[in-house]
Amino acid sequence: MPDVRVTVTVHGPDPLSRAGVLRHLKHQPSVELVDRPGPLGGEPRGAVAVMLAERLDDRAGAELRRLVRGGRQRVVLIAGELRETELMAVMEYGVQAVLWQHRTTPKRLLRAVHRAARADRGTPCGVDRRL
């Protein structure tokens, strides 16, 4: 993994899922976890937000749009299931990577976080292979 430390925040409604992601990332020397994101727009440039959502409902969609707004942080979505129209919406929001919950491993998560941190805003969404 790269030598550059990436600031990461973890978001989602399920505390158990958030705790699992935090557990996978907290011992990674290339990741700096921030428990409480700063005020909107206060995130460091290049920071990555990991969003957990079982489905892309109205609440999850609003949270994704809020995280992407302003362009200061990149977003990695870990989703339980997404229909094709929801996947297209996620791409339109500007999410940098989508990982499927049942296929996410610590290695895949770390790789997605670093790729998202390096990506430009115009970079196409990286989607895990299985749609």
Taking only the tens of pLDDT, the chain with its 131 residues reads 456 789 999 999 899 999 999 999 999 999 999 876 555 555 555 699 999 999 999 999 999 999 988 777 899 999 999 999 999 999 888 899 999 999 999 999 999 999 999 886 555 555 554 44
Could you tell me if residue 52 is inside a domain?
yes
Could you tell me if residue 1 is inside a domain?
no
Give the SS3 label for residue 97: strand
Could you tell me if residue 32 is inside a domain?
no
What tokens does 2 get? 């790269």
Could you tell me if residue 23 is inside a domain?
no
**115-90-108 Cα angle (round to 5):** 35
Number of domains comprising the chain: 1
| Model pTM score | 0.84
Q: Which domain holds residue 76?
A: 46-130
DSSP 8-class letter at 107: H
Could you tell me if residue 6 is inside a domain?
no
**Residue at token pair 């942080």:** 73
